[in-house]
Amino acid sequence: MLSSFLGGAVLALGTLASASRFDSGLEWISTNSSLPKVVIYSAGGTILSASNYSRIDNINYGSGVSPTPADLIGNATEILNVAQLAIVRFATSGGSSGANSSLFLNITQYANRQLCAEDSDIAGAIMFHGTNTLEETAFGVDMTFNCSKPFIATGSMRPNTYMSPDGPSNFYQAVAAAASPSSRDRGGLIAFNDRITSIYYSTKLNANTPDTFKALEQGNLGAFLAGQPYYFFGPSYPTGRPYFDVRNTTVLPSVIILYGHQGFDDSLLYAAVANGAKGLIIMGAGAAQLRPSTQAVAAELFSKGIPVVAVARPASGTGVPRPQSGSVFFASYIGAEQARIVLQLGINAGYDMDQIRDLFESPLRNAIYEPYANQEIYF
């Protein structure tokens, strides 16, 4: 256990940091009180799992004894040479596939309180999360986290008992990134498999292998060398990345995602609304194109105040709005599960239809149509 490993070191060195107003309740694990402080928001996942079947089990996860975050630190003590660590655990049931927006709302409230207060002395945060829906919880936090400090999501694809688990390395790299000033002013990041990507654009692309989180079109922001982050470019935020204040929010309005395909059943739109959806995301073929009959239903819902946002079904690229405003909105280069969260947050913030259209379309409109605002141009 970590406590037995550290019990002597911590107490002998007297480095248990005194709690300030913003980290009250946090217990710092530390061997050097000069190092940056990094909080671990732990929502479980494969990184905290173990199999008792064999050292090659990365599929069935026989129920071994799961390590705790403190066990991971105890087994990779090098991590305490880059940061002081504190752990906040968030309950999850049913793994990350069972998670919902309550989880990100809770994590972001902690992160804003503990990191974004003016005199907070915490350098950054990492989040452990099951990889199945990591991109959703991370995106929710990213949209609602109000300061420039690093928020780095990580996890693992192999149980900790695998013959070469990816968890310890991902953990080390995420902490090094969260402790590094070079990670600031970029929005939330994912540290995984030796690479750094933007949460805003990243998605899980492989169901089984460690090289799974990628931003296909936007690429990697950096790589890890000897555990330290190396960024290819200086800091910048993703284009059009919005911010929502959810400090008082506990429940978000329902928004569901439908997958467009040949022979799509348009009645699913009505069914979703009848079940309480306040907005819909539809994945449209090609550049987010909907069938004419689906467009007609979307127009009817638009007139009733239910926004319908089209997202491109291909793995990369984007739907593009027409020059004139339409009754279907087009998301600018974000995926369906991310667009769903943006729409929930926009509706929750009381945005009207024009504001919701702007939320999704203004990045593309500004880039494509603004330069020709005073010309007659046909695309």
- Catalytic pick among 46, 131, 197, 203: 46
CB of 83 to ligand NAG, least distance (A): 10
By CB under 6 A, how many residues form the interface with ligand NAG? 32
- H or E element, residue 39: strand 37-43
176 binds ligand NAG (CB under 6 A): no
Pick the closest to residue 163 from 304, 15, 55, 287 (CA basis): 55
Pick one of 16, 20, 22, 75: the residue that binds ligand NAG (CB under 6 A). Answer: 75
Least CB distance to ligand NAG at residue 255 (A): 12
CA dihedral 344→348→351→357, nearest 10 degrees, is 0
Span interacting with ligand NAG, options 207-215, 243-251, 343-351, 362-370, rule CB under 6 A? 243-251
247 binds ligand NAG (CB under 6 A): yes
What is d(CA 157, CA 212) in angstroms, rounded to the nearest whole number?
8
- Report how far residue 369's alpha carbon sits from residue 79's, in angstroms, rounded to the nearest whole number: 49
**Burial tier of 371 (Cβ tally within 10 Å: 0-12, 13-18, 19+):** exposed
What percent of the residues of the chain are helix, what percent strand, and what percent coil, each to the nearest 5? 35, 15, 50
Smallest separation (angstroms) from ligand NAG to the CB of 72? 7
Query: Shortest distance, CB of residue 183 to ligand NAG, whole angstroms?
Result: 14
Residue 146 as a binder of ligand NAG (CB under 6 A): the answer is: yes
Site mask, ligand NAG, residues 90-119, x = CB under 6 A?
A: x--x------xxx---x-------------
Site string (14-33) toward ligand NAG, x via CB under 6 A: ------------------x-
Which string of x and - marks every residue 42-61 that binds ligand NAG (by CB under 6 A)? --------x-xx--------
Please report, as a single letter, which amino acid is at residue 190.
I
Determine, following the binding rule CB under 6 A, whether residue 148 of this chain makes contact with ligand NAG.
yes
Closest by CA position to 135, among listed 337, 377, 326, 284: 337
62 in contact with ligand NAG (CB under 6 A)? yes
262 binds ligand NAG (CB under 6 A): no
244 forms part of the interface with ligand NAG (CB under 6 A): no
Whether 79 and 85 have beta carbons less than 8 Å apart is answered as yes
Enter the tokens of residue 204. 């899980």
Q: DSSP string covering 246-299, please?
A: -TT-S----EEEEE--TT--THHHHHHHHTT-SEEEEEEHHHHBPPHHHHHHHH
3-class SS of residue 91: coil
Closest approach of Cβ 135 to ligand NAG, in Å? 18
- Checking 64-69 for CB contacts under 8 A at 24+ apart, the result is 64/159, 64/161, 66/160, 67/160, 68/2, 69/40, 69/42, 69/128
Q: How far is the CB of 219 from ligand NAG (least distance, A)?
A: 23
Q: Which of 2, 47, 280, 339 binds ligand NAG (CB under 6 A)?
A: 2
Give the Cα-Cα-Cα angle 148, 97, 249 (nearest 5 degrees): 45
46 classed as catalytic: yes
- The residue (of 76 and 216) whose beta carbon lies closer to ligand NAG is 76
- What residues are annotated to the active site? 46
Name the residues that contact ligand NAG, by CB under 6 A.
1-2, 5, 32, 34-35, 50, 52-53, 62-63, 67, 71, 74-75, 88-90, 93, 100-102, 106, 146-148, 160, 243, 245, 247-248, 251
